[in-house]
Chains A and B, each alone.
Chain A
Amino acid sequence: MSGGNSAFRVTALCVGIAVLYLPILVLIGYSFNASPLVNVWGGFSTVWYAQLLRHQNLLDSALLSLEIAFTASSAAVVLGTLAAISLVRFSRFPGRFLLTGMVTAPLVMPEVITGITQLLLFVSLLQTFSWPHRGFLTIVLAHVTFCIAYVTVTVRSRLQSADRSLEEAAMDLGAGPTRAFLEITLPLILPAILASWLLSFTLSLDDLVISSFVAGPATNTLPMLIYSKVRLGISPEINALASIIIAIVGSCVIAAGWLMRRAEQRHELEMREAERANAPPAVPAGGGRPSLAVRSPS
């Protein structure tokens, strides 16, 4: 590779990352601006953060959104993991095609469409059965629906790559299929389950469109409240709120990523040691990638 080429790559990376992060950094910077105008720097101040605490409806909405996100992501993790197990472990069953479609469609479905259709369902159910009243429950149900899709995709790929032979060995040693699954495979897919819970939680916490449709008039989630404020232009209080949210979510994701990487490295190390103990060194483990041998040090 020539020097010009690598300079181009470094430039592309730097520009790309700058584009992704600049707006967020500017927003955080403005949240400490004493002046409410974006083009005037009025000095460093935490006045907007202090004002946030005085907005009771904002705190209520934040609490409501956290409750919804917690409930919805927990339910979605259970249902999505079951869907992933069904799709990976049961090769044929009536409804398999339907289930495959229903766990992938929400990933590409425009939110406005999902929101409208689900609202029409809830309205019709309310008319027929006098249940469910729009609010917490309907938002949770709607969020679970799209979160299941993300959970299934994540857990499914992990389950597909998990080594079946360990579970089979456990069953050969007398464990039932359920016990073998719970003791061998579940720990293997646990990182994927935790990651998808975190992803569901942030997606639910962030959802504006679907919530707006199914929420009903009395319920106001945090994104709905933020949207109603920022529609009218830049609000310094929302700058402060956004900075808090971004800081919390960002540090959680970085911490989770770091923990998962460490767990994975430890797991890899154990596997390598086990392999070294068992297999004769001449035979490469698994199929191996032939391209690896000719891969030049770049």
Chain B
Amino acid sequence: MGSGAAINTHIMNRSGNPWRWLIILPPLLFLLIFFLVPFLYTLKISFADAVIRIPPFTDIFTRTADHHLRLTLSLDSYRRLFTDHLYALAYLFSLRLALCSTLICLALGYPIAYAIARARRSTQNILLLVIILPFWTSFLLRVYALEAIIANGGLLNTVLLKLGLISHPLIIMYTNVAMYIGIVYSYLPFMVLPLFATLEKLDPALIEAAADLGSPPWRVFLDVTLPLSMPGIVAGSMLVFIPAVGEFVIPSLLGAPGNLMIGRVLWDEFFSNHDWPTASVVAIAFLVLLVGPIAIYQHMSGRHAEA
């Protein structure tokens, strides 16, 4: 089939073919306008001042009396980011909480993923569906459902009190512990799936070879299984860590009122304080400090994988 197909492929890839822009342009333009341009607007508003009107910020471009365009950049909001310790504390708190939850997810998710990867193929499909199914049901409702278990009068305390294991109800709701439980519970499937994908590809012959050569099971795990499943560990951790840092629903429903999760702080800045320029600065700092390094890392590791 060689030449005909090659010519056709050539035609489709030739840069001069105007028809392909009918395919490329709609998604490209849409995402440019509604995903990329918003960040430019955010950058612009981060240099404005907060005022009480609609919309609640000054215009950085103004017309002077002689019809010149004047650019007024205010660095007040950026200054606030460094002088007000709330934001630094919120970043550190969110990073720590997300990191710890990611590690707990990894510790819980690894055995689950391992067990699915070693199951029979017919069972595997069912188990995967069982793990994915909660992800399809509403995130908001699943977080809310936790409340019925961990609330002061919830199922957990009721059972423990009945069994006589505790004399006073455990205070979990509206604490950091509740946020950990919420994040681990909601994001566990995101950890299990990439781990499963790498563990499934892992050749059992390697493990058997290591065992035949006299390695005890824990050495086999540390020397063979764990290093080979590193791509899955990295992918799963990313999928849990990044959304967890910016999480809003979990801290606002399960966490203490006024907790320092950055997503919640940002929400308050916007809806309660109506300080849009400061919210913009926090959003931009968030991007630069979190999403930026991760995007660069992924780009680099993608290059390595291609090479």
Interface set of A (CB-CB < 8 Å, partner B):
1-2, 5, 8-10, 12-13, 16-17, 19-24, 26-27, 30, 37-39, 78-80, 82-83, 85-86, 89-93, 95, 98-99, 101-103, 105-106, 108-114, 116-118, 120-121, 123-124, 127, 141-142, 144-145, 148, 152, 165, 168-169, 171-172, 177, 199, 202, 205-206, 208-209, 212-213, 223, 226-227, 230-231, 233-234, 238-239, 242, 245-246, 249-250, 253-254, 257, 261, 291, 294-296, 298
Contact in complex: A9, B114 (CB < 8 Å) = yes
Contact in complex: A108, B238 (CB < 8 Å) = yes
Contact in complex: A234, B151 (CB < 8 Å) = yes
Q: Which of B13, B35, B129 has the most CB of A within 10 A?
A: B35
Q: Which of B24, B55, B133, B294 has the most CB of A within 10 A?
A: B24
Q: Which residues of A contact B155 (CB under 8 A)?
A: 26, 38
B205 within 8 A of A: yes
Q: Which of A2, A89, A141 has the most CB of B within 10 A?
A: A89
Which 10 residue pairs across A and B have the least CB separation, nearest first?
Answer: A110-B246, A12-B111, A168-B5, A117-B38, A83-B27, A9-B115, A39-B153, A23-B145, A16-B112, A121-B38
- DSSP class of B's interface residues: helix, strand, loop or mixed? helix
Size category, B interface: 35 or more
B286 to chain A, nearest CB (A): 6
Extra 18 A-B pairs, beta carbons < 8 Å, given A20-B131, A26-B148, A250-B133: A2-B217, A9-B118, A20-B189, A23-B185, A24-B142, A24-B145, A38-B155, A82-B27, A90-B24, A95-B28, A99-B28, A99-B31, A113-B283, A145-B34, A202-B136, A206-B140, A233-B147, A234-B151
Pairs across A and B, CB under 8 Å, 10 listed: A12-B112, A13-B116, A20-B185, A83-B28, A101-B295, A106-B35, A110-B243, A110-B263, A177-B12, A246-B138
A-B contacts counted at CB < 8 A amount to 275
Contact in complex: A117, B283 (CB < 8 Å) = yes
Q: How far is the CA of A131 from the CA of B194 in the complex (A)?
A: 42
Contact in complex: B1, A172 (CB < 8 Å) = yes
- Across the interface, B252 reaches (CB within 8 A) one of A141, A231, A250, namely A231
B164 within 8 A of A: no
Contact in complex: B118, A298 (CB < 8 Å) = yes
Contact in complex: A234, B243 (CB < 8 Å) = no
Residue of B nearest to A30 (CB): B148
Contact in complex: B1, A148 (CB < 8 Å) = no
Q: Which residues of B contact A234 (CB under 8 A)?
A: 147-148, 151
Residue of B nearest to A86 (CB): B24
Q: How far is the CA of A294 from the CA of B209 in the complex (A)?
A: 11
Q: How far is the CA of A289 from the CA of B38 in the complex (A)?
A: 46
B95 within 8 A of A: no
Q: How far is the CA of A187 from the CA of B267 in the complex (A)?
A: 44
Q: A21-B134, A253-B136 are in contact. Are A246 and B141 (CB under 8 A)?
A: yes
Q: Which residues of B contact A80 (CB under 8 A)?
A: 27
Q: Which residues of B contact A127 (CB under 8 A)?
A: 55
Contact in complex: B154, A38 (CB < 8 Å) = yes
B179 within 8 A of A: no
Q: Which residues of A contact B137 (CB under 8 A)?
A: 24, 202, 245-246, 249-250
